[in-house]
Structure 1
Amino acid sequence: MSGKLSHDLFSLWFQAPVVIAMRCQNWTANLAAGTAWTNPELHRMISEKAAAATESALAMNRALLRDGITSFQRYWLGGQSIAAKGTRPYAKRVRANAKRLSRKPR
């Protein structure tokens, strides 16, 4: 497994549950305050998921087109380059969210 892919997979495995927990805490506080549906974190989460899915699909398609059939064979034979390209957008956002959500509110 390549270094970048293993780093991204580890950050997804470790930080995604932390981000989910911090968002649940945020939503609970907003629900108690009666502002759950106007919570900007809810809208941000949805738009980030859509952007990450699009970015991931585009990165994987670019890798397939750039590397041609070699990439396709590598993908089906267990290679990591396509998987790494598809995982990177999600891992990048999870790390950024974990950092942003862990800061104390001002």
Structure 2
Amino acid sequence: MYGAWWKLGLDATLLAMESQHVIGLRLAKLAAGGSGAQAEAHRMVSEKITAANEAALLMATGGSTAKVVAGYRRKVRANVRRLTRG
């Protein structure tokens, strides 16, 4: 009974920690300035709008909160990979 709640709580906590990592990486990129910073700022805003729309659609079509959190975690991990590439 509590297994699903425990997993959701764990996934939400991991999402929060992973998001902080992305925030730090993005702040460093923005602080560096230049065209890369401007592109990252635009990407950041458009990603947030797209992710919110996807989450709303998922919930409206019967998706679970766990699926929304899992989707956000996939996007955050992709951002970590992209921002840490050499």
* Interval containing the TM-score (normalised by the shorter chain): 0.7 to 0.9
The Cα of 1:92 is off from its aligned counterpart by: 1.5
Deviations 1:18-41 (A, max 9, x none): 1000100001111xxxx3796111
Distance in 2, Cα, partners of 1:4 & 1:61 = 22
Give the structure 2 partner of residue 12 of structure 1: 15
Alignment of 1:6-85 (within 5 A): 8-30=11-33, 35=34, 39-63=38-62, 82-85=64-67
The reply on whether 1:94 has 2:76 as its aligned counterpart is yes
Distance in 2, Cα, partners of 1:88 & 1:59 = 12
Instruction: Give aligned-pair identity as a percent.
Output: 37
Q: 5+ residue gaps in structure 2?
A: none
CA-based RMSD? 2.4
CA pair 7-24 structure 1, distance change in 2 beyond 3 A: same
Q: TM-score, normalised to structure 1's length?
A: 0.65
Q: TM-score, normalised to structure 2's length?
A: 0.78
Computing the radius of gyration from Cα coordinates, the structure with the larger value is 1
| Segments ≥4 residues shifted beyond 6 Å | none
Q: 5+ residue gaps in structure 1?
A: 65-81
Is the CA contact (8 Å cut-off) linking 2:29 and 2:37 kept in structure 1? no
SS, match of residue 61 in structure 2? helix
SS, match of residue 11 in structure 1? helix
- Equivalent pairs counted in the alignment come to 83
The Cα of 1:61 is off from its aligned counterpart by: 1.1
